[in-house]
Amino acid sequence: MPIPSQRHLFELPDGVTYLNCAYMSPQLRSVRAAGEAALGLKARPWRVKPEDFFTGSEALRGLFARLVGADTDGVALVPSASYGTAVAAANLRVREGQRMVVLAEEFPSNVYPWRELARRERAEVVTVARPEDGDWTRAVLAEVDARCAVVAVPHCHWTDGSYVDLVRVGARAREVGAALVVDGTQSVGALQLDVGTVRPDFLVAAGYKWLMGPYSLGYLYVAPQHREGVPLEQNWLLRQGSEDFSRLVDYRDAYQPGARRFDVGERSNFQLVPMAAAALEQLLAWGVEDVQRTLRALTDRIARGATGLHLEVTPEAHRVGHLIGLRRRGGYAPTVARRLAEQDIHVSVRGENLRVSPHLYNTPEDVDRLLTALAPLL
Q: For residue 116, give Cα distances in angstroms to 86, 232, 233, 325.
A: 10, 16, 19, 30
- Provide the CA 99 distance to its chain's centre, in angstroms: 24
10 vs 69: CA distance, rounded Å: 27
Q: How far apart (Å, rounded) are the C-alpha atoms in residues 145 and 51? A: 48
| Per-residue b or e along 300-315, where b marks 16 or more CB atoms closer than 10 Å to that residue's CB | bbbbebbeeeebbbbe
Which amino acid is present at 213? G
Q: Does this model's pTM top 0.95?
A: yes
The DSSP bridge pattern shows strands 218-222 and 202-206 to be: antiparallel
Q: Is 74 exposed, middle or buried (0-12, 13-18, 19+ CB in 10 A)?
A: buried
Phi/psi at 345 (nearest 5 deg)? -120, 120
Beta strands of 323-366 (E only): which ranges? 324-327, 345-346, 348-350, 353-356
pLDDT in tens, the chain (378 residues): 899 999 999 999 999 999 999 999 999 999 999 999 999 988 899 999 999 999 999 999 999 999 999 999 999 999 999 999 999 999 999 999 999 999 999 999 999 999 999 999 999 999 999 999 999 999 999 999 999 999 999 999 999 999 999 999 999 999 999 999 999 999 999 999 999 999 999 999 999 999 999 999 999 999 999 999 999 999 999 999 999 999 999 999 999 999 999 999 999 999 999 999 999 999 999 999 999 999 999 999 999 999 999 999 999 999 999 999 999 999 999 899 999 999 999 999 999 999 999 999 999 999 999 999 999 999
pLDDT value of residue 93: 96
Whether residue 100 contacts residue 148, with contact meaning beta carbons closer than 8 Å, is answered with yes
| Sign of the four-CA dihedral 146, 160, 360, 338 | positive
Three-state DSSP class for 28?
strand
